[in-house]
Amino acid sequence: MAKFLVFMVLVSMSCVISVKHERKVINIAVFLDADEQNEIAILALSSIIRTVYSRTNYLLRPLIHRMHKYEVFKTGQLACSLLEQGVSAIFGPESPEINDIVQSISMSLQIPQFQTFWNSRLKTLYDHQGYNGNEIYTFNLHPSPTNLAKALATLVRENDWKNYIVIYENDEGLLRLQEALKRRNTQEPAIIFKKLGDRENYRSMLKEIKHTGMLHFILDCETENILEVLKEANEQKLLTEFHSYILTSLDAHTLNWFELKGVSSNITAFRLVDPSSNIVKEAASVWTLVMKYSEDYLHPYWNASEDIDLFNNKHFSEITSFNIRTKTALFYDAVNLFFNTFAEMEKKELLIIKPLSCQASEKSSHGTKLSQALKKVHSEVGLLSGPIKGFDSYGYRKNFQLKIVELDEKRFRTIGTWTPQKADKIDFTVTVEDRDTETKRKIQQMTFRVVSRVGAPYFIRKEDPPGRILKGNDRYEGYSIDLMKEICKPNNLNCSFTFEPVSDGMYGNYDPNTKKWNGLIKDLIEFRAELAVCDLTITYERKTAVDFTVPFMTLGVSILYSKAVKEPPELLSFSHPLSLDVWLYMFTAYLLISITIFLVARLNPNDWENPHPCNPNPETLENIWSIRNCCWLTLGSFMAQGCDILPKGISTRLVAAMWWFFVLIMIACYTANMTAFLTMERMGPTIESAEDLAAQNKIKYGCVKGGSTASFFKDTNFSTYHRMWVQMESAEPSVFETSNKDGVKRVLTSKRKYAFLMESSNIEYEMERNCDLIQVGNNLDSKGYGIAMRTNAPYRKSFNEAILKMQEMGVLVRLKDKWWKEMHGGGQCTKDKHSEDATATELGLDHVGGVFVVLAVGVCLAMLIAICEFLWNVRKVTVTEKVAPKEAFMRELHFALNIWARKKAVLNSASRSPSALPAERLSNKSR
């Protein structure tokens, strides 16, 4: 429909040509660059001329000249010759190199000039000439350098770029970054500047950039060179999803981005002209029709210079809104703005345009009036670059709106807007939720390359089954594999992955000499993988090179030590609390005290007693303290059992009291020492904390060389840990090991002379499989294992959410229980641990077996003595009663086995035997 209307307008315009009435001719000088956009600019000018001709009584006559940017002298001569024809305004030139002379002529003769390019010298020129800001004759429709610099600085800040590389083509690119540089903190990393140079130098320059490891770039170059630079960057693998670019060109959206394949980087640019707006689309349609029918309707009012051939070199088969450059749109707006302002002023006052000479001092009569009107102009309709609401004191456009656009599947989309009125803020149209949704959609289409370090239980190489070779992820198993499977489930990220082991087997450490990383970190930096999943500790140094997810496992450095080897208790272990000398001295004291009591009792008259208490006047006295009774008294008190006879004399009681005091102390010492002996026997390690390790030098201790644990002790400010690090470094032989496996082996073989410092999670794993290992003390710090990825990876937030979700659902606990307590021999020490805890206060038979042996030996000895006494009694019966030994033996044995007999007759005659006496007479007999 739009094309049909345009065509009808052209037909009607052709009919107007024959109408005879007087028109006012307005000459305008037009300087265009010698490029393909020149054709579109002329077509745009043609459409304006036709519209003016058909709707007003004016005739715009363009005096067009195509200029090269180095033709400075020719441009000056040409400008002066055009002014002699009577020019109302000058448009262009579009190149800064030849603009200064035209701008100087414009200001001298007070002819309005319209500029459409980025001009940083406009303010400098006015200040140099002592301009007071009241009258301006140069109007630049392009956003001012200061405003563009502010917009760029705001975008860099919103993207949270701490460090980046500026790739610039000429020195004007540095001016565009002036605001971004001013607002940087002096403590932030320095910015790297790289100049493009010739196209032949692109490759070498980008190789240097690649070695820096930087991820953020600002590219400032001509629009025509953007794709060439990015194509070379793509070959150098600088266009991955981890890299981000900001393009300073306002025409980046006009390029054919389908030429750039395999790009996943974030590419952001600014745009002044919105190709999706209706007014731009309609203008493109009109210009296309003008191009098709130009030879038929341009005559007779087109009076371009004879050296311009508009129709021999058509670069465009069709003009679309996406191939209209900013300078062309601004040129179209400048002509429209000039004519509308000129026509409005002529309604109030006739403007006289007269020829001028560069050599004369005469100035234009219309220039000042027209400039004053243009300075305050408010035009909102018909402009491709948006409304124009006046110009500032240096001729820069006041009002405009920059679109922040982002490359999305070969097309740019608007993600935000920036205006000078809100210079420190970008109004984003793409929300955080939208970003997350897009990222998750991209993740579902990705196959992550995951690098890991071989080591149980995180990443284990499986053995190939008979007759089959495992491939891909089937070659490996472990906690890391299961963790990625859970993350990539359909209810989480719904992605896929492939695992590969790290080439050098290292976690990732920075070498200050070579200034390079190794291990997992190196593979990430050099784009060999997108993720690193294993027992990789999150450290500050590593976070300067890569990003980490939230920890999927929390742990800390702790001490691995071997359990005390319990020797089998000796049979007489109950005697260990006292030494052999003490036992001998006690036995000697026992004999001496017994003899002393015997002697003292014989000397003390109080211990001689009447044997017959019923006889008040006995003829003899009796002393009961024989050697046997004395030994029984001392033995009874030693056993804490007492005795049925006690001394009566003061001296004998004093001796007995001293013996009891001695026995009291010895029994108390024995009991206390026995308790300590049993306690010491149950005690495991001789160290209980890191302080204990640091305070002694008998037990050596170390860690994995170059690992996160070594970094913890090396960089700590805590005095105890720093002292431990000094001791580890100076120890001979070296206490450092190349892996946790070697450290565990050394702990087991060192006979409790070596302790190994490692992560508590690995200690728990080893303790589940080797019951001779223990963890000593609490964790020395708190850290976590995280999934490492390239800095600013877009999928980091999605992985964080998946890990937190798994943590809340208990999936991480279940995975740890599986690989720590169930798989590959786990859980072996669980029963032993519980059994040890339950019997911590009990004594085994081995500890008290000697007591039973003593009891058995004493009983056997008592039985042996009883047998001897029985045989001695049999002999006595044989002699007394004059019977055969066998008969006496059988008779006495029969009586001894008769457990119901409670009394026994006295042997006083040979004719009578105990067995022959009646029971009623036995009670009257006494021995």
Beta bridge partners of 62: 28
Closest by CA to 109, choosing from 92, 130, 86, 132, is 86
Residues 317, 319, 323: CA angle, nearest 5 degrees:
115
Neighbours of 111 (CB within 10 A): 27
**How many of the other CB atoms lie within 10 Å of CB of 307?**
8
248 near 220, Cβ under 8 Å?
yes
Distance CA 357, CA 174 (A): 38
HEC secondary structure over 756-782: EEEEHHHHHHHHCCCCCEEEECCCCCC
| Locus of tokens 């341009």 | 298
Give the integer Cα–Cα distance in Å for 600 and 596.
6
Known binder of ligand: residue 709? yes
DSSP 396: B
Q: Tell me: is residue 138 an annotated ligand-binding position.
A: no
Decide: helix, strand or coil at residue 783. Answer: strand
Q: Alpha-carbon distance 41 to 331, whole Å?
A: 7
Per-residue tokens: 554: 């929390």
Q: Is 708 marked as binding a ligand?
A: yes
Task: Kindly tell me the sign of the dihedral angle through the C-alpha atoms of 593, 599, 605, 611.
Answer: positive
Instruction: Give the tokens for residue 515.
Output: 């200034």
From the CB of residue 504, how many other CB atoms can be counted at a distance below 10 Å? 13
What are the structure tokens assigned to 141, written together?
Answer: 């429709």
Contact of 569 with 808, CB cutoff 8 Å = no
88 is in an annotated binding site: no
733 cis-preceded (ω within 30 degrees of 0): yes
Distance from C-alpha of 922 to C-alpha of 905, rounded to nearest angstrom: 6
The residue type of 643 is: C
DSSP conformation class of 795? T
CB 289 within 8 A of CB 10: yes
Dist CA 905 CA 926 (whole Å): 6
Phi–psi pair at 26, nearest 5 degrees: -115, 110
Q: Helix or strand or coil: residue 790?
A: strand
Q: Which helix (H) or strand (E) holds 18?
A: none
Cβ neighbours of residue 869 under 8 Å, at least 6 residues apart?
none
> Which run of H or E residues covers position 352?
none
Cα–Cα nearest to 41, from 290, 235, 227: 290
C-alpha 182/C-alpha 175 separation (Å) is 11
Instruction: Give one DSSP letter per residue of 153-168, joined into a string.
Output: HHHHHHTT-SS-EEEE
- Both structure tokens of 192: 């790297």
Peptide bond into 685 cis (omega under 30): no
Tell me how far apart the alpha carbons of residues 890 and 280 are, in angstroms, rounded to a whole number: 140
Please tell me whether 634 is known to bind a ligand.
Answer: no
How far are the Cα atoms of 41, 307, 337, 397, 739 from residue 328, in angstroms, in the given order? 5, 21, 14, 16, 66
Q: Which two tokens stand for residue 752?
A: 């409790």
- C-alpha 725/C-alpha 715 separation (Å) is 9
**Rounded-to-integer distance, Cα 214 and Cα 200, Å:** 22
Q: Where are the beta strands (DSSP E) in 162-211?
A: 165-168, 192-195
Q: Would you say how long the chain is, in residues?
A: 927
Residue 777 sits at φ, ψ, to 5 deg, of 75, -175
Question: Which residues are annotated as part of the binding site for L-glutamate?
Answer: 537, 542, 708-709, 759
Question: Which residues are annotated as part of the binding site?
Answer: 537, 542, 708-709, 759
